[in-house]
Amino acid sequence: MSNRAVFLRGKLVLYLADSTVKLLEKRAMIIKMLAVGPFASNCYIVGSSSTREGMIIDPGAEAETILRTVQQTGLSISLIVVTHAHVDHVDALAAVKERTNAQVALHEAETGLFSTAPMRMLTSLGLTPFKQPPGPDRLLKDGDRIDVGDLHFEVLHTPGHSPGGICLLGHGVVFSGDTLFNYGIGRTDFPGGSHERLMKSIREKLMVLPDETIVYPGHGPPTTIGDERRGNPFLQDYPL
């Protein structure tokens, strides 16, 4: 990804080529994006540059790469947030939790899939089984707040791709999991998926956000709510 600068609510945001993103203000947020595994799932390492506290979102594969990047950032990881329980977002969860001793947070509606969806998905694709992820330490619901040092994020329940899919909103950015992509949306043909619920989630939870909100999706490059509102071909036939 090439360098790019935009203004977000009066603050200069710089996209660096190594995918590290910082809000250039007194209280900076560090966001490190890693595309991991055969599905190129985005794992995010997010933290406060002032308190050095951090969280990991969707450790989908390549645990050693994720842990090495955490060490490079100097962040202390206390929380692992799973946006949904599909295998490409949890394959490295067991190893990362074991090494960080961080709590695992998952939406309460996703617990039924947590023990079955990863294995079912692997079997359907003819891939090798993986280590079963540990159970969640914290069950999330819509409107919950996640605190990471002096950073605060709101949990948005966005079912459709999966029953307990979530997005995390805070500080002018939203981590959208597999709900919304750069000019795409999540697929809905997995167990528990629903196209109608997905479009309702996007319309009522994401398209109400300001245009300048930066979207960090579960796959592919970042985008903004405004860009998706204007140009995402999957949204053009739905009133937003």
Our count of domains for the chain comes to 1
Q: Which residues contact 205 (CB under 8 A, 6 or more apart)?
A: 156, 157, 158, 167
Amino acid at 135: G
Q: Is 238 inside a domain boundary?
A: no
* 57, part of any domain: yes
CATH number where 176 lies: 3.60.15.10
Reduce the secondary structure of 62-103 to three states and give it as a string. Answer: CHHHHHHHHHHHCCEEEEEECCCCCHHHHCCHHHHHHHHCCE
Which residue type occupies 68?
A: R
Q: Domain range for residue 105?
A: 4-231
* pLDDT in single tens digits along all 240 residues of the chain: 333 333 333 333 444 334 444 443 445 899 999 999 999 999 999 999 999 999 999 999 999 999 999 999 999 999 999 999 998 999 999 999 999 999 999 999 998 765 555 455 554 555 555 567 788 999 999 999 999 999 999 999 999 999 999 999 999 999 999 999 999 999 998 888 999 999 999 999 999 999 999 999 999 999 999 999 999 999 987 666
Rg of the chain in Å (alpha carbons): 17
In a domain, 236, yes or no: no
Which ranges of the chain would DSSP assign to H, the alpha helix? 63-73, 87-90, 93-100, 111-114, 117-125, 195-201, 225-231
Q: Are 171 and 29 in contact (CB under 8 A)?
A: yes
* 3-state secondary structure at position 184: strand
Q: Which one, of 26, 2, 55, 1, lies nearest residue 12 by Cα?
A: 26
- Report if residue 10 sits inside a domain: yes
